[in-house]
Amino acid sequence: MSTLTINGQDLTLGDDEQLNVVQAAKKAGVEIPHYCWHPSLSVVASCRMCLVEVGEKKPDGSVAMMPKLVPACQTPAKANTVVVTDSDKVKQAQAATLEYLLLNHPLDCPTCDQAGECFLQDYSFKFGNAETRLQEPKEIRKDKDYIGEQITLFTDRCVMCSRCVRFTREISGTAELQIVNRGTHAEIDIYPGNPCDNKLAGNVVDLCPVGALCSKDFLYKQRVWWLKSRNSVCPGCSTGCSIHVDQNEDHIYRLKPRENPLAQGDFMCDEGRFGFKYVQAEERLTAPEWKKPQPESNGSSSSVSRWSEIVNHVRESFRLVAKKSPRSIAAVFSPWMTCEEAYLLASWLKKLSPQVRLTLGPIPVVGEDDRYPKNWRGEPLEPTKFTIRAEKCPNRLGVAAVLSHFQSIREDFSSIFNAARAGELQAAYVVGGGPPGWLSSDEVKALAQVPLLVAQDILRSELTNAAQVVLPGASFAEKEGTYVNHAGLAQMILRSVHPVAEGYNDCRIFMEISQREGLFNARVMRKEIAEQISAFRPIASGDLGEYGVMLPALQGAAKQANLSEARQ
């Protein structure tokens, strides 16, 4: 227990809280402006924006202030520290620092992508002077668009906070960026011929507190004040990075990492950051389709594209098959499904007949887990600060947990695959929802032999071409639900955009097929799942909060993560 005073206000910190004054002040509700300090990076105290008055309260009650201002980011918040951030001295220092930082700033906010979320703008507004006293012409420096494949540098906007440099040295360990020259000529640059193209490079754009480093992918696409942001989870790998999905008018423009100490920390990888494009690809399924075979005519088939008719057809035909031979019905769940979807589909099929075979489809695994930071040989160093997992799907644990509740004996996908190839299946329900290339063409060929094949996916593929019924579902950005990451952390995803054209939220499709009453509500569904499935007890409130909820029952399963069943 330690008590310190911030602007005359007492703040008590726990013994395990090792904070600096910036963090402590934030806890007390006081904002200390800062550029160079970042919670995940080392402290350099170079921007001088966080200068505050600091003193010590003596046991006799008197306060001894330090004669000079000190950087708050470098000052540990220990007991009896007295911090003053609103004195004239501090305010003058802040204004002077800002004026200095803005000396050579081009003030091209109208054309700058950062405008609207720029700390130069925010701090100038809150702490700065309205006018500059600089008389001389500003120094104009050349932009550097060679910094990286995804990164461009507007050199004259830079405030030399060195966050990006420290990131490449401390988090990714690749150390491509550096500061060249000294004093007022200092610039961010790369080593010639060694661009900043590591798998975490996109994070330097987020780290940049001003508009110096910009993402080429997002460059000039939108003004940030038009973007509407919803919390979600990256579906790229089983790390399950917390993200913001930024969209405007139903178009996703960028994903940004959302700070989550339980999941991944402050960052995300470029695979996930730029890997969402399939969500708005041309190949998206836009309307449901039921290709009716017409035996009496010359083989051509007519097709139906009305949801109500198709849903009825699926429901009735599965019911008929389940009556005759329930073992010939199989459902392939994808690891991109949310727990709610898996629950709804499994409960419908198991209600038809307990003998229906449910299986988790192939788990995409690419290489091995990619751990950062790395040394110059590319070998991972301890302690690991960021991991890109080999398992390229977000919810294997969650779907598997739901399936094991409905079906005590686990069905491997390979057995379903063999049954399909042998022609033993009468009906199959395959749910996709992820990026293209989930099922191999062998698997599709086998499934195509099933007479009644229902494919619910978001992209046109071999599978949907072969299927008798095609149902357009929703991608991760278009639905609500729960993903459970590699460590058993259940996180909420929220709907950011509308499903494409006539596409439906997957849960809605399942609810209509199973004739459940009411509209889908993820929160209510989570409560139901928590009641039914013991592994999901911790989410019984239905609310997972910003960081998500750990599911201890699945943590054990995560430890013995058996990748052998997955296809290499």
Partner 1 sequence: MAISEKDIVWVEEPSIGLWEAMYLPAIAGGLATTIRHVFQKPVTEEYPEVKPVLPLNYRGVHRLNRDEQGRVKCVACMLCATACPAHCIDIIGAPTPWEDRDKYPVKFEIDELRCIYCGMCEEACPVDAIELTSIFDLTGLSRQEMIFDKDKLLSVYDKTVQGGKDPARTTRGVLGPASENLVPAERMAWPIDELPSSQVNS
Contact 213, 204 (CB under 8 A): yes
3-class DSSP state of 380: strand
Please report how close the Cβ of residue 219 comes to partner 1 at its closest, in angstroms.
Answer: 7
Which of 125/225 has CB closer to partner 1? 225
Contact 111, 214 (CB under 8 A): no
Number of C-beta neighbours around residue 86 at 10 A: 12
Which of 152/387 has CB closer to partner 1? 152
Q: Rounded to whole angstroms, how far apart are CA atoms 439 and 432?
A: 9
Please report how close the Cβ of residue 220 comes to partner 1 at its closest, in angstroms.
Answer: 4
Half-sphere exposure of 135 (CA within 13 A, CB side): 0
Which of 94/124 has CB closer to partner 1? 124
CA distances from 238 to 81, 395, 430, 561 (A): 43, 7, 21, 11
3-class DSSP state of 35: coil
Please report how close the Cβ of residue 137 comes to partner 1 at its closest, in angstroms.
Answer: 9
Which of 105/166 has CB closer to partner 1? 105
Please report how close the Cβ of residue 152 comes to partner 1 at its closest, in angstroms.
Answer: 9
State the DSSP string of 288-332: -EEEE--TTTTS--EEE--HHHHHHHHHHHHHHHHHH-GGGEEEE
Residue 373 preceded by cis peptide, ω within 30: yes
Please report how close the Cβ of residue 223 comes to partner 1 at its closest, in angstroms.
Answer: 5
Residue 215 CB-density burial (10 A; 0-12 exposed, 13-18 middle, 19+ buried) = buried
Please report how close the Cβ of residue 281 comes to partner 1 at its closest, in angstroms.
Answer: 20
Which of 191/220 has CB closer to partner 1? 220
Phi first, then psi, for residue 471 (nearest 5°) are: -120, 120
Please report how close the Cβ of residue 111 comes to partner 1 at its closest, in angstroms.
Answer: 4
Which of 106/275 has CB closer to partner 1? 106
Residues at the site binding partner 1, with contacts judged by CB under 8 A: 106-111, 143, 154, 219-221, 223, 225-226
Please report how close the Cβ of residue 107 comes to partner 1 at its closest, in angstroms.
Answer: 5
Q: Rounded to whole angstroms, how far apart are CA atoms 348 and 358?
A: 11
Which of 26/221 has CB closer to partner 1? 221
Which of 111/440 has CB closer to partner 1? 111
Number of C-beta neighbours around residue 469 at 10 A: 23
Which of 160/224 has CB closer to partner 1? 224
Please report how close the Cβ of residue 98 comes to partner 1 at its closest, in angstroms.
Answer: 17
Q: What is the Cα 363 distance to its own chain's centre?
A: 19
β-sheet bridge partners, residue 380? 374
Number of C-beta neighbours around residue 185 at 10 A: 9
